[in-house]
Amino acid sequence: MTRIAETAEERRAIRRHIMFTIAVICAMGIAWKLLHVIEIIYVSALFAVVLMPIVQRISTCQIRGWSLPRPAAIGLLLTTVALLLTAFFIIGLPPVLRDMRQFSDDLPQKIPIVVAKIKHLPMAEKLGSDSLTEKLQSILGSTTSFLIASFPKWAARIFDIGAAFFLCIYFMLEGEHAYAYLLAFFRPKSRERLAATLQIAEQRMSKWLLGQGALMLILGVCSTIAFYLLHVRYFFLLGILMGLFNIIPVAGGIITILLAGGVAALDSWQKMAGVFIFYFFYVQIENGYLTPRIMRTSVDLMGLSVLIALLVGSALAGVTGALVAVPTAALVAVLMDEYMVQKDAEAQALASEYKAPEPEPEESPIAEYSRDA
């Protein structure tokens, strides 16, 4: 009887394993189908986590013993940002767009003049200067056709941004209830440990906004100074735009530098070349020096981790992946510190032999983990 009972129990265990495997496969298939939706949900939840400390500070500010409730604090934050952006674009952007429209209208007449100047350059014959006018006009026509053809994709992206915006608001309003519900799936001991770990991750992820704000401020100030020295029109407006759009990795910088280059080209091609040269060198400094160090200070990540996170995020999800790469890396780092890093005497011995390559000696993270243990 015991043998029969053991056999029946083994069969039930095998059936449970089979059903679990099938359920995992089905869940992975559904997740693959809903990958785009999951991406929007994840980005919305992450930005809700990043913005919640600001909302909490607003709600804790008291005026004559009265403080704002959370919905009112969220509304105040969003209204303030919307009013600032609206005022900025209404006041500063129309003159630039008007001159850019005039520039595009005058461009076909300016192309023969540019070609005539190119013919006087050395090696002009090998460049095929005789047919250069037709080539430039063909490129302009192809660019216009591409922009028109890609309009539906941009419209879909705008819809995704709107959906993520409203989801972010709902996460800030009701995220705590969803968070408590998800923790209820874990056992009490595991639940307490996971809750404490996620709280640490939330603090580190929320500091990402400070680091990103510092990068935006640096680019805005440097761009304003560079455009002023180059005597570019609307240098102050363009500098602010460069700083604001820096929150969007890669795409934001490309859009704004093309806009600044077009404005500079209204006066001369030399100014446009100066704008592009400035941005080329700034990108090298930002990617190689500023981003790793600022994000290491704010998010407490190694510079190598920040660069790898940006590369992986952009490869997996393009601009969106690069946008959320650093806070996601902070979350992954905290989870790995808690559940995977070995805090033992052997790690401490390895830490004592480790020498960091920084100019100033710093304590190794492994030694910190071992000391805490």
For the stretch 98-155, pLDDT in tens is 766 766 676 666 666 666 665 665 555 555 545 555 665 565 556 555 555 555 565 6
Summary mean pLDDT of the chain? 76
Strand partners, 63: 66
Encode pLDDT of 175-211 as tens digits.
888 888 888 888 888 888 888 888 888 888 888 888 8
The answer to whether 76 and 55 are in contact (CB under 8 A) is no
Find out whether 167 and 40 touch, Cβ atoms under 8 Å: yes
Query: Is the pTM for the entire model greater than 0.75?
Result: no
pLDDT given at position 278: 92
∠ CA(260), CA(145), CA(254), 5° rounding? 25
Low-confidence ranges of the chain (pLDDT < 70): 1-6, 92-93, 96-97, 99-100, 102-104, 106-156, 250, 342-373
The rounded distance, in Å, linking the Cα atoms of 320 and 35 is 13
Q: How far apart are CA 311 and CA 335, in angstroms?
A: 20
What's the 3-state SS for 65-121? CEECCHHHHHHHHHHHHHHHHHHHHHHHHHHHHHHHHHHHHHHHHHHHHHHHHHHCC
Cα separation, 268 vs 263, whole angstroms? 9
> Under 8 Å CB-to-CB from 266, ≥6 apart: which residues?
99, 100, 103, 233
Q: Which two tokens stand for residue 335?
A: 């989870």
Residue extents of the structural domains in the chain: 202-340
Rounded to whole angstroms, the Cα distance separating 189 from 173 reads 28
